[in-house]
Amino acid sequence: MRSEGAGAVVFGGASGLGEATARRLAADGAQVVIADLAHERAQAIAGEIGAVAVRADVTDPAAVEAALARAAEAERGVRIASICAGLGTPTKLLGREGPTPLETLAKIVEVNLLGTLNVLRLAAAAMVGNEPDDGGERGVCVCTASVAAYEGQIGQIAYAASKGGVVGVTLPAARELARSGVRVMTIAPGLFDTPMMAGLPEAARASLGGTVPFPARLGDPAEYAQLVAHIVANPMLNGEVVRLDGALRMAPR
Map out the domains of the chain as residue ranges. 7-242
pLDDT at 157 over 80: yes
Q: How far is CA 91 from the centre of its chain?
A: 21
Angle at 104 between CA 244 and CA 184, to 5 degrees: 35
Is the C-alpha dihedral spanning 126, 189, 114, 60 positive or negative?
Answer: negative
The residue type of 106 is A
Which sequence positions are flagged as catalytic?
159
Q: Which of 41, 178, 164 is nearest to 113 (CA)?
A: 164
For the whole model, what pTM was predicted? 0.96
Which residues on neighbouring strands pair with residue 98, listed in sequence order? 95
pLDDT at 207: 83
pLDDT at 139: 98
Average pLDDT, the chain: 96
pLDDT at 17: 98
Q: What does the alpha-carbon distance between residue 109 and residue 160 come to, in Å, rounded to a whole number?
A: 9
Bond before 235 cis per omega within 30 degrees: no
Angle at 27 between CA 50 and CA 51, to 5 degrees: 20
Least confident of 26-30, 137-141, 201-205, 221-225: 201-205
CA distances from 237 to 48, 178, 197, 225, 240 (A): 30, 12, 30, 15, 7
Instruction: Confirm or reject CATH 3.40.50.720 for domain 7-242, answering yes or no.
Output: yes
